[in-house]
Every structure is written in C-alpha cells, then in structure tokens.
Amino acid sequence: MEEELKPTINKGSMAGYIRSALQLPDTDIKTFSGLTLAYIGDAIFDLIIRTIVVENGNAPVNKLHKQASKLVKATAQAELYHKIKDYLTEDEQSVYKRGRNAKSFTSAKNAGIIEYRTATGLEALVGYLYLTDQMDRLFDLLRPQLQEMVSIS
C-alpha cells in the first residue's frame, strides 16, 4: 500500500521557505530601510486580512475588497498599533520607529500624516517579523486585536 504524501508546512516560516525554494541569498535584515520593511509588511498584512475576509465566507469580490479595505487602511493600522504598542519588545519598538520615521514621498489618501507614519511603522514591524521568520510572534501580537476588529475565533 502506497503511503499518502502530505505537504509539510514549516509553521511560521513562509519567508524561509520562499528563500530556500528560490535559492535566494541570505541578506542581513539590518541593511533594509524602514520603508523596505514596510513595503513587504504591507503585502503580508494585506494577505493576512484577505485570508480572514475570505475565510469568513464566500462573497462577491467587490464585497470582499470593501471589507478588506476597511482593515488595511492607514487609520485602521494606526489604531491597531496603539493597541499593541505596550506589548512590543525593545527591538520591535526600534523597528517600528525605523518605519515610522522613514521619509516617504507618498501619503495616504484618507489619513493624516501622523496616522500614515504610524501605519508605516506597523507595516515595517510586520515586514521585520515576517522576514525574520517570527510569524508566531506576529500572530501573538495581532490575534487579539484582529479578533476584535473582525468576527474571527
């Protein structure tokens, strides 16, 4: 009898899997700017929110997009940061500040500069935790807040 092959997922290591599968070189994360960390963090945060929205039920794509957009906008991200800031380690707070203080040449459409910079700092933190394979830590920080923001268990 042939043994069934099941895919294995290294919990919390999507970035490591991608680096390995594509044979990408190791890069010192300390060389990344706050905006580079925010760039990848924005995508990861968006993926998390889209996953939550889709898993909450099948719906027309326009409706899914509207639900996700409410949660990924700068004002929602800034609010999320304020809820988790007291739980951040010194290193995490430093990464957040690198993102927040980075000089960006863009701004949010529907947010003030302070909210936009706060959101950029949060995205930098998300990017940092993702690139350093600390997804468990990311979800420890986000899970309670996301449960409050959307109906997930």
Q: How far apart are CA 153 and CA 148, in angstroms?
A: 10
The single-letter DSSP state of residue 150 is S
Residue 146: CB partners within 8 Å, gap ≥ 6?
Answer: 48, 52, 152
Q: Among 26, 28, 42, 133, which one carries the catalytic annotation?
A: 42
* DSSP secondary structure letters along 19-36: HHHTTPPP--GGGS-HHH
- Is 42 tagged catalytic? yes
Q: How far apart are CA 37 and CA 55, in angstroms?
A: 27
Q: What amino acid positions are annotated as catalytic residues?
A: 42
